[in-house]
Structure 1
């Protein structure tokens, strides 16, 4: 499966999930309830995305999606609210911070 097969919104949601999970794993966070709720909402979006109805091997595709989002998330994005990742130049509302809303 080629990484270009994934819809942009699915990759962005996975990247937001990764960033939220990392923020939740950080020590001494006060906003854990907000982060846990965000992680749950993102998990539901990922699990029920229509793309999975068309994927040949869903488990392999999910693994590739996680790897793709992780790789893209490490390419120098700046931190947004609650530790979420934002696209460069984002001023309040990219897919990374808004995907959870």
Structure 2
């Protein structure tokens, strides 16, 4: 199923994944800044108004992560 995700929500989830991957690297630099960014992005995704609408189901949360991961991977390979 395809959900009508707002662009800002998808962007925040993609940024969350990118930040998480940076933290997962061996010996990441600027870990404090990355952790703060991850917390901020987590709050943005978690409390986005989309989740209070009928399409904002738990299944939609899983699909958002998958969609963002696919987009992130395409962007990473293109770079």
Q: TM-score, normalised by structure 1?
A: 0.70
**Unpaired runs of at least 5, structure 2:** none
In structure 2, distance between residues paired with 1:41 and 1:57? 20
Q: CA RMSD in A?
A: 1.4
Aligned residue pairs total 77
In structure 2, distance between residues paired with 1:49 and 1:15? 14
Runs of 4+ in 1 over 2 A off after TM superposition: 55-58
Higher helix share: 2
Give the corresponding residue for 1:40.
39
**Unpaired runs of at least 5, structure 1:** 79-101
Q: TM-score, normalised by structure 2?
A: 0.89
Which gives a bigger RCO, structure 1 or 2 (Cα 8 Å, sep 6+)?
A: 2
Cα shift readout 1:33-68 (whole Å, capped 9, x = no counterpart): 000000000000000000000034521110000000
User: Are the equivalent residues in 2 in contact too, given 1:17–1:42 (CA < 8 A)?
Assistant: yes
